[in-house]
């Protein structure tokens, strides 16, 4: 028996299904008529709305969140997040035709990006498509990604950090036949874990620097408006000292003594995690950003930078009944240099150790579980097929005049340089260079580089290796986001298929993105 007096404020991360969102639909008028289009498999209305949720004892926390309403499709396509503020889990199958109507119930403009999905430019959530309060944006696309854990979040110009911090984020889980054929844990044993950090003010409200600034105020530059400390945090990145899993602080989860699939998403604005079991049992990694690996790999710990996903396979039967276990973030060298001194507002520095999730292994008998063997067909990356095999394109991550940039250029809504222009149906080698050690004021910071609209392969890391990090990198498999440490050069193989147009690539440390570390690339037909 557990002693509830020991953990008076224990909250459980919700396990398994929270029930179809349609059944728990709250208080919003249905704006859409039931879908007429027989070609559609799934039609969802996604409302971005202000709300209040109970996260800590005492006052409720004001949040912004996504609420979904299923207008067409199987009830399993939309699963409400019962606790916390996270958006509903959208579950679709590869090949399905999906329509999602974003309805902006917020007091400022927003747009949704489907992180990791391969969709056309009009469906990708570029900030130029942001819609004002009360407006609707209609997404319609065929899901052609592999099975995997993708996600969605806002992407308005200069305000992504603020809006994600306010609570806007959700998982977009794709399944397919290749995955169906495997004996992977399902249902309540398929457990998404969305990890975030927040600062709470005295009245339990999220404390985001400069959140009160009016829309458009920051367009005049990173240092405008708010306090000096706030301006600095908006440039270096916002770290919180409270760790939340699925929207809950001090998260706890009860598990059976059987096999689970844990889908980890780092939806934090800035923080990178170094995840390990408290007893240092190895972790079995079965998937990354773009779905399943060819075969499982083992790590003593895994690094998870902002926006990265890692799928773990774990047999909780290997622990004794009634074991208390924790998923922790271990200490590591963040490479922040001067940056860490500028953080100011948080007690928990980047790279500091803490507990992420308490796990209680149940009292029941062990259910036999077979470790997954072969997982998927993962063709070898073929850099020789790149049109610039001999001359990788170099993208320097730069800092100047209190603005981040790439090759010295900060984000411009419609701009792409010749270097940032590529041809449809080609592959290229790109090299992200983080030579931050020589940056302004000696500020050396890691970056979490994301490319929209595609999945890439990692060809190699060059330069400084970080002892406290290197064994936890999972560079196998398909990726859309990758951690680039100061002093490191990262080579990736990108392929431009199906869709011409203007797409983003940027640092997913959201304050860096909002402060200019984002650019367009243009795919020419």
Residues lying near Cu ion in the complex (CB under 5 A) are found at 447, 507, 509, 512
For residues 303 to 322, the per-residue mask of contacts with ligand C2O, x marking binding by CB under 6 A and - elsewhere, is: ----x---------------
Q: Which does 261 bind (CB under 5 to 8 A by kind): Cu ion, ligand C2O, none?
A: none
Least distance in Å: CB of 512 to Cu ion?
Answer: 3
Please, which contacts does 405-408 make with residues 24 or more away whose CB atoms are closer than 8 Å?
Answer: 405/516, 405/517, 406/505, 406/517, 406/518, 406/519
Task: Please identify, using beta-carbon distances, which residue of 65 and 450 lies nearer to ligand C2O.
Answer: 450
Residue 343 is inside which H or E element, if any?
helix 338-343
Of 259 and 515, the one with the shorter C-beta distance to Cu ion is 515
User: Whole-number minimum distance, CB 411 to ligand C2O, in Å?
Assistant: 11
- The three-state secondary structure class of 44 is strand
Q: Indicate if the alpha-carbon torsion angle 274, 278, 282, 284 is positive or negative.
A: negative
CA dihedral of 380, 498, 426, 305, whole degrees rounded to 10: -60
Half-sphere exposure of 509 (CA within 13 A, CB side): 27
Q: Are 147 and 176 in contact (CB under 8 A)?
A: yes
How many residues of this chain bind ligand C2O (CB under 6 A)? 10
| Binding of ligand C2O by 507 (CB under 6 A) | no
- Which residue number has the CB closest to ligand C2O? 115
Taking CB under 6 A as the rule, does residue 118 contact ligand C2O?
A: no
Using the rule CB under 6 A, is 512 a contact of ligand C2O? no
Name the segment binding ligand C2O (CB under 6 A); options: 83-91, 94-102, 413-421, 500-508: 500-508
> What is the distance between the alpha carbons of residues 359 and 361, in angstroms, rounded to a whole number?
6
- Report the alpha-carbon angle 58-61-66, nearest 5: 145
Question: Binding segment for ligand C2O among 44-52, 285-293, 339-347, 501-509 (CB under 6 A)?
Answer: 501-509
Phi, psi at 119, each rounded to 5°: -130, 170
Residue 263 binds to ligand C2O (criterion: CB under 6 A): no
509 binds, among ligand C2O, Cu ion, none (CB under 5 to 8 A by kind): Cu ion
In DSSP terms, 314 is beta-bridged to 260
Exposed/middle/buried for residue 371 (C-beta within 10 Å: 0-12, 13-18, 19+): exposed
* DSSP letters for 161-188: HHHHHTT--EEEEEE-HHHHTS----GG
The one segment of 283-291, 292-300, 428-436, 502-510 that binds ligand C2O by CB under 6 A = 502-510
Identity of the residue, 348 or 422, whose beta carbon is nearer to ligand C2O in the bound complex: 422
Shortest distance in whole angstroms from residue 303 CB to ligand C2O: 18
Are the C-beta atoms of 186 and 151 separated by less than 8 Å? no
| Partner in contact with 508, chosen from ligand C2O, Cu ion, none, beta carbon below 5 to 8 Å by kind | ligand C2O
Per DSSP, what are the bridge partners of residue 47?
A: 67, 103
Q: What Å distances lie between residue 261 and 188, 239, 258, 321, 472, CA to CA? A: 9, 28, 10, 19, 19
Q: Candidates 67, 69, 72, 115: give the one binding ligand C2O (CB under 6 A).
A: 115
Minimum Å gap between C-beta 307 and ligand C2O is 5
How far is Cα 237 from Cα 512, in angstroms, rounded to an integer? 7
Closest CA to 353 of 380, 319, 333, 330: 330
**Measured from the CB of residue 273, what is the shortest distance to Cu ion in angstroms?**
16
C-beta of 155: minimal distance to ligand C2O in Å?
A: 5
In the list 504, 515, 517, 523, the residue contacting ligand C2O (rule: CB under 6 A) is 504
Residue 426 to residue 523: CA distance in whole angstroms: 10
Nearest-approach distance from CB 450 to ligand C2O, in angstroms: 5
Minimum Å distance from CB 344 to ligand C2O?
Answer: 26
Across-strand partners of 429? 493
Please choose which of Cu ion, ligand C2O, none residue 309 contacts, taking the beta carbon within 5 to 8 angstroms, the exact cut-off set by kind: none
Q: Is 257 in the site for ligand C2O (CB under 6 A)?
A: no
DSSP letters for 378-432: -PPP-GGGSTTTTSPEEEEEEEETTEEEETTB---TT---GGGEEETTEEEEEEE
Q: How far is the CB of 115 from ligand C2O (least distance, A)?
A: 4
Structure tokens at 414: 């419609």
Q: Least distance in Å: CB of 153 to ligand C2O?
A: 6
Task: Pick the binder of ligand C2O from 159, 489, 508, 512 (CB under 6 A).
Answer: 508
Which positions from 155 to 184 touch ligand C2O by CB under 6 A, shown as an x/- string? x-----------------------------
Is 271 a binding residue for ligand C2O by CB under 6 A? The answer is: no
Would you give the binding string for ligand C2O spanning residues 442-471, x where CB under 6 A is met? --------x-x-------------------
Binding site for ligand C2O (CB under 6 A): 113, 115, 153, 155, 307, 450, 452, 504, 506, 508
């Amino acid at each position: 028996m557990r002693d509830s007096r020991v953990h008076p404020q224990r909250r459980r991360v919700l396990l398994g299904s929270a029930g179809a969102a349609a059944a728990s639909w709250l208080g919003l008028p249905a704006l859409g008529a039931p879908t007429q289009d027989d070609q559609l498999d799934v039609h969802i209305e996604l409302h971005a709305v202000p709300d209040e949720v109970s996260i800590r004892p005492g006052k409720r926390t004001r949040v912004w969140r996504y609420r979904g309403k299923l207008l067409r499709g199987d009830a399993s396509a939309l699963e409400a997040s019962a606790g916390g503020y996270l958006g509903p889990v959208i579950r679709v199958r590869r090949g399905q035709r999906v329509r999602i109507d974003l309805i902006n119930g917020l007091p400022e403009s927003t747009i949704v990006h489907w992180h990791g999905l391969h969709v056309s430019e009009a469906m990708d959530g570029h900030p130029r498509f942001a819609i004002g309060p009360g407006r609707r944006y209609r997404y319609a696309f065929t899901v052609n990604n592999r099975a995997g854990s993708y996600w969605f979040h806002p992407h308005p110009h200069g305000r992504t950090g603020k809006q994600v911090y306010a609570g806007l984020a959700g998982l977009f889980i794709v399944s397919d036949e290749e995955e169906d054929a495997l004996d992977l844990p399902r249902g309540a044993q398929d457990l998404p874990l969305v990890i975030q950090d927040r600062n709470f003010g005295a009245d339990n409200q999220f404390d985001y620097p400069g959140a009160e600034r009016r829309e458009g105020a920051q367009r005049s530059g990173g240092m405008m408006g708010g306090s000096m400390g706030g301006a600095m945090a908006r440039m270096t990145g916002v770290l919180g000292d409270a760790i939340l899993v699925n929207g809950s602080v001090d998260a706890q989860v009860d598990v059976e003594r059987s096999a689970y699939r844990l889908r980890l998403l780092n939806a934090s604005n800035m923080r990178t995690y170094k995840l390990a079991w408290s007893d240092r049992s190895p972790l079995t990694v079965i998937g990354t950003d773009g779905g399943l690996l060819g075969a499982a790999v083992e790590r003593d710990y895994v690094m998870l930078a902002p926006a990265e996903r890692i799928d773990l396979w774990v047999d909780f039967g290997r622990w004794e009944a009634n074991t208390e276990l924790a998923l922790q973030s271990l200490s590591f060298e963040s490479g922040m240099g001067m940056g860490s001194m500028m953080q100011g507002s948080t007690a928990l520095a980047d790279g500091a150790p803490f507990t992420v999730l308490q796990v209680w292994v149940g009292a029941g008998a062990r259910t036999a579980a077979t470790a997954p063997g072969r997982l998927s067909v993962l063709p070898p990356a073929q850099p020789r097929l790149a049109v610039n095999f001999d001359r990788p394109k170099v993208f320097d991550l730069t800092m100047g005049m209190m603005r981040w940039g790439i090759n010295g250029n900060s984000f411009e809504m419609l701009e792409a340089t010749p270097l940032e222009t590529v041809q449809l149906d080609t592959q290229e080698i790109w090299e992200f260079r983080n030579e931050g050690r020589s940056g302004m004021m000696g500020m050396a910071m890691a970056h979490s580089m994301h490319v929209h609209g595609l999945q890439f392969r990692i060809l190699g890391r060059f330069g400084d290796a970080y002892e406290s990090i290197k064994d936890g990198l999972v560079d196998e498999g398909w990726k859309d986001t990758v951690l680039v440490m100061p002093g490191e050069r990262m080579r990736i193989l990108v392929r431009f298929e199906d869709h011409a147009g203007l797409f983003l690539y940027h640092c997913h440390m959201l304050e860096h993105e909002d402060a200019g570390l984002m650019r367009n690339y243009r795919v020419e037909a």
